[in-house]
Amino acid sequence: MKAVALKENIWWVGGIDWDIRNFHGYQTPRGTTYNAYLVIDEKIALIDTVKNYLEKELLSRISAVIDPSKIDYIVVNHVEMDHSGSLPQIMAAAPNAVIVTSAVGEKGLEAHYHSKWKYVTVKSGDSLDLGRTELKFVQTPMVHWPDNMVTYLPKEKILFSNDAFGQHIASPERFDDELGSDIVIEEAAKYYANIVLPFGSQVQKALQALSALDIDMIAPSHGLIWREHISDILKKYTLWSANETDDKAVIIYDTMYGSTEKIAYALFRSFEEKGIPPRLINLKSNHISDIVPEVLTAKYVCIGSPTLNNNMMPTVAAFLTYLKGLAPKNRIGMAFGSYGWSGQSVGQVEDILREMGFDILPQIKLNYVPTQAQLDEINLDQIKIFVSDFD
Ligand code: FEO
């Protein structure tokens, strides 16, 4: 298999995962890549590896450029197994290689692979000379794990950013301008919402540390390499990490006999009347990982569930569990739903929205099948709390 040149003596040698459709719960309809990069100078460095089942592809692409046994250093920017999974095979093919990683990275690799490898540990500000080429390291803890760091080539102005700025896209194209920026930005947003969102403050620290660097290529560990839309993706990361939202609403719900859905549509109408663009999302037909990119940029998050066996519906509970873990901030939340007699679901949803630190609009809770008059009363300027007793 072929390697792809980024610049002179710098090659993409990663693996393309055409068939993956579920990445630990995140649906990846476009597949993904695990990007590894080869830097060739008097010394040779491999930056990151690939998932274990793509190790032959990685070795094949490396072999298209050099003999893998000549690799001197393997930089592990991140321990997670989508990037380190083929390390045992690569270390077998490059027996003289020394692993360059953070101190936390070394501990993580030992805990994963239980192997006696040679390490050089680095921290922010450290560098490694390959001859004419210098690798500089910046630690970026929690973007995405505590071990994360990025590698920067000052002369070549390339940032190897690992998970940051990644997208789950499998494609023959390697650069953002070859595929179309709409797709790449859309997938970068989905990646941020599903993977990076909990770590906004750490992303801001990383952006601050990277702001001093002169960058004309960002080479992440997933998806396309940024060379055309660098300022666009940096601006997006700045907004997303600050939890800045658009004046838009997402109305996310499940429904049993259509009553909660009627409330959802009444809310939709009410947001439209206020000039706030709403989006309706039924949990029966949308995967949770496709919904969180909508939450990423929405100021208003309304969640609806009828009561089922004294609880919210399992689909709603699953979504809220996922959302709570991703910890979006600075949102305005609302719980709504229909009920028959006990009616716990709306309060349960609201409790979780409160735990997430959302500002809360009054809940809407209607008994059995709402009347048109009740639905017509739903009005964002004057939200009323509807509780009609079963008896
Ligand atoms: Fe792509 Fe955190 O691994």
Q: Please tell me the distance between residue 139's alpha carbon and the centre of ligand 1 in angstroms.
A: 15
Which active-site residues does the annotation give? 24, 78, 80, 82, 144, 163, 191, 222
What's the whole-number average pLDDT of the chain? 95
Distance between Cα 218 and ligand 1 center (Å): 16
% pLDDT > 70, the chain: 97
Residue whose Cα lies nearest atom 3 of ligand 1: it is 80
168 in contact with ligand 1, CB cutoff 6 A: no
**Cβ(366)–Cβ(385) below 8 Å:** no
- Is the pLDDT assigned to residue 390 strictly greater than 50? no
CATH number of 246-388: 3.40.50.360
- Residue 385 pLDDT: 42
The predicted pLDDT at position 387 comes to 39
Taking 60 as the threshold, does the pLDDT of residue 1 lie above it? Answer: yes
Here the contacts of 126-133 (C-beta below 8 Å, separation 24 or greater) are 128/45, 128/73, 128/100, 129/43, 130/39, 130/41, 130/42, 130/43, 130/44, 130/45, 130/72, 130/73, 131/41, 131/42, 131/43, 132/41, 132/42, 133/9, 133/39, 133/41
More reliable by pLDDT, 113 or 390:
113
* Helix (H/G/I), strand (E/B), else coil: 88: helix
The predicted model gives 330-339 an average pLDDT of 97
Distance 161 CA to ligand 1 centre (A): 11
Domain 4-241 falls in which CATH fold?
Answer: Metallo-beta-lactamase; Chain A (3.60.15)
Judge whether residue 339 has pLDDT over 50: yes
The residue contributing the CA closest to ligand 1 atom 1 is 163
User: For residue range 257-315, what is the model confidence (pLDDT) as tens digits?
Assistant: 999 999 999 999 999 999 999 999 999 999 999 999 999 999 999 999 999 999 999 99
Per-residue pLDDT tens digits for 340-355:
999 999 999 999 999 9
Query: Identity (one letter) of the amino acid at 95?
Result: P
pLDDT at residue 139 in the model: 95
pLDDT class of 383 with cuts at 50, 70, 90:
low
Ordered by start, the domain boundaries in the chain are 4-241, 246-388
Question: Which pLDDT does position 380 carry in this prediction?
Answer: 85
* pLDDT for residue 384: 46
pLDDT digits (tens, 9 = 90+) for 210-252: 999 999 999 999 999 999 999 999 999 999 999 999 999 999 9
In order of 85, 87, 116, 184, the CA distances from 112 in angstroms are 9, 10, 12, 32
Task: For tokens 């540990």, name the residue.
Answer: 121
Find, among 103, 101, 40, the residue nearest to 72 by Cα: 40
Distance of alpha carbon 223 from alpha carbon 170, whole angstroms: 7
